[in-house]
Structure 1
């Protein structure tokens, strides 16, 4: 007897075949599982951290043998900076590199309701950290009072002092990260798709029929990408400066140095694009390989938030990434008034990345 055609069985067969095709696609697996897990881990690390980190300098005249200082040192997100001269400390305060200077002085007056004065000096460059550190200090004092100083008003009285220097606006942190985001995206995705499509459409092969040599082909296409992205950088920085007050400490000179730094970084980032275009067996793999390179840098290189928000064990990895050093150099030049020569360490590491990346690009690049 002829068995009737089962629509349900056919539907299940199609479902099974489609599911196998999806599971065999690395792009589907990575974008559906791997990348969401990365986001969960990154933001989970931030959420599980003990709050913002504070870099504190202890005044050299402070009383160091007291319960208040001992309690503060137990907080993992408070780091005491040592080994700096007064001039270096002053410079770091003005540039917002440290939260402030803490001075703990013993009160010798017999009728005083407190045993110590906790003087904390900061500047407007660290206003956000200053406003977060004071409640933490008050919480420490409150806990000590409940345990050891129940009969007296308080173990210590806080004397805050904030000095007005250059205002540090949110845009001063955000814009360098967004510029780096733009340059890295364009360098990797733009170059990867460009040269892959030129190879697939036999454009590069047709170029060989002309007198132009291979080096000129790559330089010509690369130069067009560089010019376009530098125009983009000009628009981003100009909009940030005139519309949102992005700080350019030395005006036009700072602007020119930002463009030079952007040019150097873009050359490095384009090398990643050459590698992807050479490794990708088909066009659908390009986004996968490109995101493997770019996504960790977007999340871990201080693009959207400071890498101090991550656990201490993860921060060394963050500091290896090339985008981290571009972001650091950008912020030093734009806000702190540094010059390119002052950012030799960041530029040097970008240069090392450039050598490594282009050595790999030469090995993987294909003409056909």
Structure 2
């Protein structure tokens, strides 16, 4: 009598083999574990579970030798920055990146010995409305602990051009769009051209290798520039996106976009050369793009993160692209005044193409 084939043995073998295959798949591990873990770490870092501190400056003429200043400095609700650079401080105020500038002065009147004046703009209306109760609470605590009468809190509101939500959102979405569209487009295009032996067939023609790269690169840049123009036009005419200098602002934004696109073309060429199968292309793209999408000021300000993440984000090219785009659009900055951001992008570009030259494969 023949032994019956054990289905359990087959099931066990198939299960083990499938389980091993899962752990050998980098895409599965990335999207099942690493991808959500990164999101958890990033979003849990929003103020470490606390309210985001109010970023303020202390006026250079302020009295910083008194208990009111020390109480504000030591309070978790405030983050004090240097405001000695007047031009930079004005830009921060106008963009609503700082809640205000505080000036504390001692008074001869012993019944109300201190006046605290908050200079702010309409860009910080919401922040200041939330900050006032905190200042009043500090005054109340000083009165209880030290017997100091209530601090006289005053405000000086300066009206400026309104910094709307779209002025932050649209530049970030432009960066997000060209980042993923360019990387996916270039990486898959060159991988498929290589795998389908199209590039090899080109070698049988008088077409120069560099001509192939330039041709595909120009088409990709042209398409992405067209999409950026569409986003800017819709944003400006339908959503009231600010273009301070009109068409000249648009031109500067497009030039900056070309620099970023040229950088991303190189990254896409690297990915198309190092992958073994086309299924791993999204993995490489997400490893490169995910940190930038989350911490480069694409969807929300980097101010929501702890200081170490804010500093780390300065290494990423998308951070500088987003910052420069917002400065050009809303503040009317020129490409020259954005030289630091452009220098970082050019540095990344040089590094990327050095790697591209070493890794790029034609066959």
TM range (shorter): over 0.9
Quote how far apart the aligned CAs of 1:84 are.
Answer: 2.5
Distance of 2:311 and 2:22 partners within structure 1:
36
Out of 228, 236, 252, the residue aligned to residue 233 of structure 1 is 228
Q: Is the 8 A contact 1:187 1:272 kept in 2?
A: no
Residue in 1 that maps onto 2:262: 267
1:29 aligns with 2:24: no
1:187-220 deviations in whole A, cap 9, x for unaligned?
2111111100110111111111111100000000
Q: Is the 8 A contact 2:46 2:52 kept in 1?
A: no
Residue in 2 that maps onto 1:221: 216
Q: Is the 8 A contact 1:54 1:98 kept in 2?
A: yes
Q: Identify the range of structure 1 (298-307 vs 271-280) with the bigger mean alpha-carbon deviation.
A: 298-307
Helix, strand or coil at the partner of 1:232: helix
Q: Identify the range of structure 1 (45-54 vs 14-23) with the bigger mean alpha-carbon deviation.
A: 45-54
Count of aligned pairs between the two proteins? 362
Q: Which runs of 5+ in 2 are unaligned?
A: none
Q: Is the 8 A contact 2:59 2:83 kept in 1?
A: no
Quote how far apart the aligned CAs of 1:49 are.
Answer: 5.5
Quote how far apart the aligned CAs of 1:53 are.
Answer: 4.2
Distance of 1:3 and 1:56 partners within structure 2:
81
Out of 139, 163, 181, the residue aligned to residue 141 of structure 1 is 139
Q: Identify the range of structure 1 (157-166 vs 254-263) with the bigger mean alpha-carbon deviation.
A: 157-166
Distance of 2:166 and 2:294 partners within structure 1:
18
Distance of 2:191 and 2:98 partners within structure 1:
47
Helix, strand or coil at the partner of 1:284: helix
Distance of 2:218 and 2:173 partners within structure 1:
22
1:55-84 deviations in whole A, cap 9, x for unaligned?
423223323222221011113541232432
Residue in 2 that maps onto 1:121: 119
Q: Is the 8 A contact 2:166 2:239 kept in 1?
A: yes
Distance of 1:326 and 1:250 partners within structure 2:
19
Distance of 2:53 and 2:252 partners within structure 1:
30
Residue in 1 that maps onto 2:312: 317
Structure-1-length-normalised TM-score: 0.92
Q: Is the 8 A contact 2:54 2:127 kept in 1?
A: yes
The within-5 A match list for 1:1-368 is: 2-48=2-48, 50-75=50-75, 77-85=78-86, 89-110=89-110, 112=111, 114-149=112-147, 154-368=149-363
Q: Is the 8 A contact 2:328 2:334 kept in 1?
A: yes
Structure-2-length-normalised TM-score: 0.93
Distance of 1:312 and 1:88 partners within structure 2:
19
Q: Is the 8 A contact 1:49 1:310 kept in 2?
A: no
Helix, strand or coil at the partner of 2:101: strand
Q: Which runs of 5+ in 1 are unaligned?
A: none
RMSD: 2.0
Distance of 2:93 and 2:29 partners within structure 1:
47
Quote how far apart the aligned CAs of 1:2 are.
Answer: 4.0
Quote how far apart the aligned CAs of 1:155 are.
Answer: 3.2
Quote how far apart the aligned CAs of 1:309 are.
Answer: 1.6
